[in-house]
Amino acid sequence: MDLDTFLTKEQKKKINSAVTKAEKKTQAEIVPVITDCSGRYDRSEDVFGLLLAVASVCGIWMYAQHVQVVEWGQVEYSYGLLPIVATIITGFIIGTSIASRVWAIRYLLTPHSEMKKCVAYGAQRAFHEFKLWKTTNSSGVLIYISLFERMVYVLGDKKVHKKFQQNDFEEIRDAIIQNLQKGQRCEALCEGIELCGEKLKANFPSNRSKKKNQLENHLRIFRTSY
Whether 34 and 80 share a structural domain: no
Whether 133 and 165 share a structural domain: yes
Residue ending a domain, choose from 109, 133, 164? 109
Instruction: Identify the pLDDT of residue 75.
Output: 63
Whether 118 and 195 share a structural domain: yes
Are the C-beta atoms of 186 and 14 separated by less than 8 Å?
yes
Q: How many domains does the structure of the chain reveal?
A: 2
Whether 23 and 56 share a structural domain: no
Domain span at 155 = 3-40+111-222
Q: Where are the beta strands (DSSP E) in the chain?
A: 29-35, 67-69, 75-77, 140-146, 151-156, 220-222
Whether 24 and 128 share a structural domain: yes
Whether 218 and 181 share a structural domain: yes
Whether 115 and 12 share a structural domain: yes
Whether 65 and 164 share a structural domain: no
Whether 163 and 141 share a structural domain: yes
Residue ending a domain, choose from 61, 78, 109? 109
Instruction: Identify the pLDDT of residue 92.
Output: 95
Residue ending a domain, choose from 81, 109, 137? 109
What does the DSSP 8-state code read for residue 67?
A: E
Whether 64 and 128 share a structural domain: no
From residue 18, alpha-carbon distances to 4, 131, 184, 194, 206 in Å are 20, 20, 15, 7, 16
Q: Can you give the pLDDT of all 226 residues of the chain as single tens digits?
A: 688 889 999 999 999 999 999 999 898 899 999 999 999 888 999 999 999 999 998 888 787 766 666 666 676 666 777 888 888 999 999 999 999 889 899 999 999 999 999 999 999 999 999 999 888 788 899 999 999 999 999 999 988 988 888 888 999 999 999 999 999 999 999 999 999 999 999 888 887 655 677 888 899 998 875 5
